[in-house]
A and B are shown apart, each in its own frame.
Chain A
Amino acid sequence: MSMPTIDELASQLTAVSGAKAVDPDHPLQHIEDVDSLDLMEWLYGFQNDYPHIPADESLFADMDDTTTLRTVHERIQRLVPEQG
C-alpha cells in the first residue's frame, strides 16, 4: 500500500494553500498563507488519494504551536494498516 513521503505532503499542502513554501519542520500555525481551512482542504484531497489510510480531522485535533507537518506525517504513518 502506498504511503506519501513527507515531501509529497509538503507539496500537496503548498498546492492547496498557495503558500510559497511549506517547511515540514516549521510549526503549521506559523506558516504564512496556511490556515485551518487549508489543512481541511488538504485532508479532503488526502482522503481521496489514500482511501486505505483512515485519516480524519483528528489528525489536527490537538494542534498547537509545536505541531509540524512532520508531526502529521508520523501520525499518518501510524494509521497505515499493517500488510497481512
Chain B
Amino acid sequence: MTADAVSGFGIAGWGTALPERVVSNAELAQRFGVDEDWIVSRCGIRERRAVEPGQTTASLAVEAGRDALAKAGLDGADIAHLMVATATPEQPSPATSAFVHHELGIAGSAHDLNAECAGFVYGVVSAMALMALDPRPVLLIGSDTHTLTVRPDDRDLGILVGDGAGALVLTPRPDHVVRGWNLGADGSCSSSLKVLAGGSRLPTTAETVREGLHYARINGNEIYLNAVRYTVETVRQTLESAKVEPADVDHVIPHQANIRIINSVLQHTGLPPERLVSNLDRYGNTASASVPLALAEALDAGRIREGQLVLLAGFGAGMTWGSVLLEWGGR
C-alpha cells in the first residue's frame, strides 16, 4: 500500500529507554564458544542491552513515553491515543498499552500493534491515519524485550537481540510532511521467525515448556533474503511515490537488524551510505524500538535539520515491511 504526500503533523517530542545492563561480545563469545570478531563480522554488533528482573516491555515503554511527553511539554491527559508497537508483550492479555496507559495517565484510547520489527514504521503510518480522522496528539511507542524470548543456547538469535524502547509524540501541527510511504506483508513467510507455543494454535503446556517451544526460533537465511528483498522494494516504492531520488535522502534510518542487511539495502537501493543513522553496534537488534531509538538519538544530536528528508524503513517477521519518507519541518 502506498500513498502520496500528507501534511499537518509535527513530532513534538521523542524519548528513549535502555536497560543499564550491557551484554558485551566478550560475554557472549564465552557463552557460545565463538570469537568476538566473528560476532562483529557476522552482524556488526559490539554490545547490546538486556533487561534485569523488574524491567519489562511496559516499564521500558513507560520510561520512553515519559521522556517523549516531557520533551513535548505535554502529559498523559493531553494524549488522545496511545499506540505501543511490540512483539514481546507484557503478558498475553491485556495489551501492553493498557499498562502503559495507566502508568502515564493517558486520557484517550490505547492499543497494541504487532508487526514485529516493522512495528514502529507501521505505527507511524497508523498514527498519521488516526490524526487525519481525529487531529489530536498521539503517543507512539516501540518497545521490545527480545532477550527474554531467546533460548539460552541459541547462538543465532542470542548475538543479535537487545532490549529497549523509543517513543514519539505526534501532534496536529503543520510542521512536517509525509512525502511518501509504503507498507506491505507476506504471510506466506510466517515461519522465518516464530514462537510456536503460547497462543491458540499451541497453548502452553508443561510439554511445550519442556520442549522449549515458548522460545523464539529463527530461519536466518530466509529472514536475510526476504529482509533485503522487501526492504529494497519498499524503499524504492516510497521514493518513487515521493518523486525523490535516493541521493536526495538526507538521513536513512532503517531497522537495526544486522549491518550486512543494512549495507545490502543501501547498495541495492542506491541510498548514500554516509547518510545512514545506526546504533546497531551499541544496542543490537531492538526490534520495534530500533527505528525510534535511532531517530531520537539523531534528533538529540541535532543531526536532523529543517527541510531535510528522513527515511524510516523496517522489516519484520511475518513478513512485514514498511517505509516512510518525512520532510522535516521547523519547530
Q: Which residues of A contact B (CB under 8 A)?
A: 35-37, 39-41, 43-44, 47-48, 56-57, 60
Whether A43 and B225, one on each chain, are in contact in the complex, defined by CB atoms closer than 8 angstroms, is yes
List A contacts of B260 (CB < 8 A).
Answer: 37, 41
B221, B229, B258: the one contacting A60 at CB < 8 Å is B221
Residues of B within 8 A of A57 (CB): 221-222, 225
Q: Shortest Cβ distance from A46 into chain B, in angstroms?
A: 11
- CB atoms of B221 and A39 under 8 A apart: yes
9 residue pairs A–B, Cβ–Cβ below 8 Å: A36-B220, A36-B221, A37-B220, A40-B225, A40-B228, A41-B228, A43-B225, A56-B225, A57-B225
Which secondary structure dominates chain A's binding surface?
helix
Which residues of B lie under 8 Å from residue A60 when comparing CB positions? 221
**Interface flags, B258-271, vs A, CB<8A=1, else 0:** 10100010001000
CA A37 to CA B297, docked complex, whole Å: 29
Among the listed B42, B220, B228, B258, which residue makes an inter-chain contact with A44, where contact means beta carbons less than 8 Å apart?
A: B228
| CA–CA, A43 and B220, complex, Å | 14
Shortest beta-carbon contacts, A-B, top 10: A40-B224, A40-B225, A40-B221, A44-B228, A57-B221, A37-B224, A36-B221, A37-B260, A41-B264, A57-B225
On chain B, the number of residues with a Cβ less than 8 Å from chain A's Cβ atoms is 12
Cα distance A20–B225 in the bound complex, in angstroms? 24
Could you tell me the distance between the alpha carbons of A48 and B268 in the complex, rounded to whole angstroms? 10
- Cα distance, A35 to B260, chains bound together (Å): 12
* Residues in A neighbouring B222, C-beta threshold 8 A: 57
A43–B222 Cα distance when bound, in Å, is 11
Residues in chain B within 8 A of chain A (CB atoms): 42, 220-222, 224-225, 228-229, 258, 260, 264, 268
- Specify which chain B residues have a CB less than 8 angstroms from the CB of A40 in the assembled complex: 221, 224-225, 228
Smallest CB–CB gap between A71 and chain B, Å? 17
* Chain B residues within an 8 Å CB radius of A39: 221
A35 neighbours in B (Cβ, 8 Å): 42
Cβ–Cβ < 8 Å partners of B229 in chain A: 44, 47
Nearest-neighbor residue (CB-CB) of B258 within chain A: A37
Query: Which of A37, A47, A56 lies at the interface centre, i.e. has the most chain B CB atoms within 10 A of its CB?
Result: A37
Having A40-B224, A41-B224, A47-B229, one finds 11 other A-B pairs with CB under 8 Å, namely A35-B42, A37-B220, A37-B258, A37-B260, A40-B221, A41-B260, A44-B264, A57-B221, A57-B222, A57-B225, A60-B221
Minimum C-beta distance from A9 to chain B (A): 17
**Bound CA–CA A26/B287 (angstroms):** 37
Nearest-CB residue, chain B, relative to A35: B42
Complex Cα spacing A57 to B258, Å: 19
Q: Bound complex: CA of A39 vs CA of B222, how far in Å?
A: 11
CB distance from A26 to the nearest CB of B (A): 20
Q: Which chain B residue shows the least CB distance to A33?
A: B41
A41: which B residues are within 8 A, CB to CB? 224, 228, 260, 264
- Most B CB contacts (10 A, CB to CB) among A41, A43, A47, A60 go to A41
Closest residue on chain B to residue A39 by CB atoms = B221
A48 to B229, CA, bound (A): 10
Chain A, residue nearest B222 (CB): A57
Bound complex: CA of A41 vs CA of B222, how far in Å?
11
Could you tell me the distance between the alpha carbons of A55 and B224 in the complex, rounded to whole angstroms?
Answer: 16
Q: Tell me which residues across on chain B come within 8 A of A43, comparing CB atoms.
A: 225
Q: How far apart are the CA atoms of A3 and B276 in the complex, in Å?
A: 35
Residues in A whose Cβ lies below 8 Å from that of B228: 40-41, 44
Chain B residues whose CB sits within 8 angstroms of the CB of A48 once the complex forms: 268
Contacts of B268 in A (CB 8 A): 44, 48
Residue among A44, A48, A56, A57 facing the most chain B CB atoms (10 A cut-off) = A44
Give, as a whole number of angstroms, the nearest-CB distance from A70 to chain B: 20
